[in-house]
Amino acid sequence: MAASFDLVVLGAGSGGYACALRAAELGLTVGLAEKDKVGGTCLHRGCIPTKAMLHAAEVAESVRLGSQFGIHAAIDKIDLAGVVSYADSVVDRIYKGLSGLVSFRGITIIHGAGRLRLQNGRPAVAVDDETYEAANLVLATGSYSRSLPGLDVDGVKILTSEHALRLDRLPASAIVLGGGVVGVEFASAWRSFGVEITVVEALPRLVSGEDQSVSTALERAFSKRKINVITNAAMSACQPTESGVRLELANGQLLEAEIMLVAVGRGPQTADLGYQEAGVDLEDGFVRVTERLETSVPGAYALGDVVRGLQLAHRGFAQGIFVAEEIAHRKGILQQAPVPIVDADVPRITYCDPEIASVGLTEEQASRFGDVETLTYDLAGNGKSQILKTRGFVKLVRRPNGPVVGVHMIGARVSELAGEAQLITNWEAFPSDVAGLIHAHPTQSEALGEAHLALAGKPLHTHG
């Protein structure tokens, strides 16, 4: 029998390590089981390297469009191996800092592939030949890149996002199968690097989880960037060719490119980990949990991508903190119980060009609960947006004579406005509440202020 802990966390991704850090901070002894590196997919194969690549793409686009600002320059070449090296350096710095923090907090890293098992009738984590018991367990094993039947992902011509991040050479052309967040981010970055791109989406629009108006604006922006978008198009067949890959759509259309990225979503990493054998209820592969993230096994919690809902690192962070505090509260360490995480309150960002940021309900979602009122403020009226030469808008959704329940934005750098948008919707602010706040000039945050001024009935730089 190996060491026992107050808490064992299975998986050291965003949610898992956040839970471990907060639990250790609260005085619990913590074991953190991980088969790879602390930080998980987000740090090593997802959020961080992808956004580093997107920043490099932004630099390339700035050089290409520099003449608009009186700066005449030319791109000598796009060194994709150099871009990968830059992204790796960012990941390495963050990883070293995170590893040091985990060690500083006294968390025991259990290296190896862990499985859930029953030990003396209680859940435990088995790693290699050792079994680790704890009063509480947290399942945080993350997600994997989904594929489709009939697709042979070889990592050379047909890729997942993990493969795409390790390319050391740019293709001349690429098909992106899937128009969700991952798909449009890679499409945007590769287009900035000069790749001919076709995005194929089976649903009627890109980024279908966003407000309809945002999807329409993104498709228009992609068209101006000469990114070919095909929606309402399901895959029929796909096969590698001598020069690349050929994709046949259900409507009979044939597409060819040098490579194809499969970006059709991510699935929960719960298979072959002993979950069901230990009594954990699953639904379509996701762990079934209560509002307080309890599984069907007493003392065991689940969080992050294994729980149905938004698959976002910051949702995992928040759920990790919540679970640690929930356990501490039940042990009498914390007097007040933590507030459960609600997906509608979690900000959503897509780092394509133009960026998308939103929080709360879309107009369609809000309409299911009754009448709604909306207002769209065009960034053409915002000074900083004109300086950046970006197009887009801020759209507000509110209940009639009530609080704002949704904020939806598209345009360069709008990701930095997500924090204020979250405060507005989470605190159920009325338009008049935000209209009374002074937003610094010239900033893009003024667009949020102007939108609320208009919705409060006193428009300034807008017709109303």
- Residue (of 131, 116, 133) closest to 276 by Cα position: 116
β-partners of residue 131 are: 126
Counting Cα atoms < 13 Å in the Cβ hemisphere of 89 gives 6
- Does 1 have pLDDT greater than 60? no
- Does 2 have pLDDT greater than 70? no
Q: What does the pLDDT look like over 418-458, one tens digit per residue?
A: 999 999 999 999 999 999 999 999 999 999 999 999 999 99
First-to-last CA distance in the chain?
Answer: 71
For helices 445-455 and 418-426, give the axis angle rounded to 10 degrees.
30
> Looking at residues 286-291, what average pLDDT do you find?
98
> Looking at residues 180-186, what average pLDDT do you find?
98
Tell me, what's the pLDDT at 4? 85
Which residues are part of the catalytic machinery? 441
> Looking at residues 250-271, what average pLDDT do you find?
96
Share of the chain above pLDDT 90, in %: 95
Share of the chain above pLDDT 70, in %: 99
Pairing relationship of beta strands 373-378 and 245-249 according to DSSP bridges: unpaired
> Looking at residues 117-124, what average pLDDT do you find?
84
Using an 8 Å Cβ cutoff, are 452 and 421 in contact? no
> Looking at residues 89-94, what average pLDDT do you find?
98
Pairing relationship of beta strands 30-34 and 108-111 according to DSSP bridges: parallel
119-133, 168-182, 237-251: least confident range:
119-133
Q: State the amino acid at position 435 in one-letter form.
A: A
